[in-house]
Amino acid sequence: MRKSNEHANKCRDEGNKLYSTRNFFDALLKYNESLCYALDESVSALAYANRSAVYFEIKLYEHCLTNIEFAKLNKYPEKNAHILLSRSEKCVALMNRDSDKHRQLPENLSCFTKLSYKENSQMPFIVDCLELRTNDVFGRHIVTTRDLKVGDMLTFEEPYFKVIKSDSRYESCQELNKYQRCAACLRDNLMDLIPCKKCISTMYCSQKCLEYADRNFHNYECNINETLLKAGIMQMVMRVFFQSLNIFNGSIDELEKFLNDCTKTSTCVYDFDFSTTDEHKLAKSYLLSSYNLARNEAVTSDESSHSIFMLDPLLIELWDSHSIFITKFIKRFIKIYDSNFHGICGWSVKKSENYEAQMIGVGCYCFSSLINHSCSPCINRLYSYDKLIIVVDRPIKKGEQLFDCYRSPFFKQSKSERQYSLLNEYAFRCQCEACVKNYPLFHSLKSFNKKLLKYAKKSKNEIQKLDFVEAQRKFQEICSIIQDSKEYPSSEIILLQECVQQCLSIILKPKNLIL
Ligand SMILES: C[S@@+](CC[C@H](N)C(=O)[O-])C[C@H]1O[C@@H](n2cnc3c(N)ncnc32)[C@H](O)[C@@H]1O
């Protein structure tokens, strides 16, 4: 599909119908689709103007004014200019009148953005007490050099390589995610997004993100983006390839030479300095730390990359001259994808009864990818847009290993099923404490403290109703109870851990929702 004013106008008409029934979320989706398809500025101008009307209705006045400005910049018809002028005057008056009340954009995690301990000097996104160890059983793994408490925040890691998920036949993600959030940073910006000037399926939250994407990957993707969005694993693997190529200004020879020279010695995220402001150096460090997440050459098959390369003349040229290197690179990252990449969870800004997180993207987190699995984990993984936050779930003693749970925890799935899927998907036989000691499923778990069990059950029911501030208080309260509990596993601790997750999800969810 190409840009088309006709399609853009049709989407805008549909948006207007939805607007008239006050279905503002779906109206914004349609206006955003209209912006993506619009060929002429005058057609974009109408979509921006309509979007400003939505933001006015939902009292997001700054967004309303920005959209009015965009409409004007895109040659909004002179004869209707008075409509925008009047809306903008009303906006300003309401903003002045309700200066303390009008809906601000609260940054998620306002007081939840701090690591619990001093940051690592070379990796400022993790605390300084996490060390890398290697042994025959676990390969590389992470241990703590100090006691860690329940609720401690250990990382705020951003992925260098990441993609937005949309339209996928393979993953459960919202088909229209591409009209809801920035393709570069995954923020929703309350759907106030700007489109790529050339393709029909990429939007950004700012000009800065648009330029970043054009410089780093979209220059290769723009022509084939529709295919990539539907390409499952290959969407992310191709992103890594394109972004890597851009590090070397498009020279595949230089990329190949760099990887050949640098990967003779095994390196990982601990070997680089991520505190540098030198973007080029950083990019190379990310590339090598990601490339070396695989510990040996890949033996996976790769059927679809050839057909993707055949879609664009520039890519055909690359393939014809370097098919051996490209195949090796792609196979390696397919393997890394399978055992190391993380699905990124996030929330839509649509108000709904069943307001659950969904998959919004995939990211390569070079540090977090070194954490091994346990069916009875001691950390919890959360996302604030693309940032991966690791929170301590059970007390961890100095010298102990950090364990995440890759699949289902022990209380949700039988040992044989867990072991089967870990062996199949991650190629290891799990020997975690839950597997060795045969921890039971939830319904067979013992309770050691009836009073605490009652408190846990009551809390679980009440938490849904808590607001942001109350959820933070409850989070602290429950974390210290888990910290002080001695008996594990028990039904009360499992329930309390679920309460902690519920609190965190309230804290992380977008605060402004669109009807
Ligand atoms: C995300 S990586 C973790 C880092 C990995 N240990 C390394 O050296 O790169 C996942 C891989 O680590 C290994 N692994 C993870 N948890 C393990 C465990 N509990 N026991 C043994 N191996 C494990 C498996 O090879 C798995 O495919």
Average pLDDT score over residue span 152-178: 87
- pLDDT value at residue 105: 45
d(CA 503, ligand 1 centre) in Å: 29
Q: Which residue has the higher pLDDT, 445 or 107?
A: 445
Q: Is the pLDDT of residue 246 over 70?
A: yes
Q: Is the pLDDT of residue 501 over 60?
A: yes
d(CA 428, ligand 1 centre) in Å: 7
Q: What is the ipTM of this complex?
A: 0.99
Residue 369 CB less than 6 A away from ligand 1 = yes
Cα–Cα distance list, 248 to 23, 204, 245, 254 (Å):
46, 24, 5, 6
Q: Domain map of the chain by residue range? A: 5-97, 162-344
Residue 138 CB less than 6 A away from ligand 1 = yes
- pLDDT value at residue 261: 86
Is residue 280 within 8 Å of residue 249, measured between CB atoms? Answer: no
Average pLDDT score over residue span 420-427: 94
Cα–Cα distance list, 153 to 126, 137, 157 (Å):
9, 27, 11
Rounded distance between C-alpha atoms, residue 240 and residue 163, angstroms: 9
Residue 419 CB less than 6 A away from ligand 1 = no
Lowest-pLDDT choice from 90-94, 153-157, 171-175, 421-425: 171-175
Domain formed by 5-97, architecture: Alpha Horseshoe (1.25)
Average pLDDT score over residue span 28-33: 97
Averaged pLDDT score across all residues of the chain: 93
Average pLDDT score over residue span 160-172: 83
Residue by residue, DSSP assigns 177-215 as GGGTS-TTT---GGG--EE-SS-SS-EESSHHHHHHHII
Percent of the chain with pLDDT over 70: 94
d(CA 498, ligand 1 centre) in Å: 25
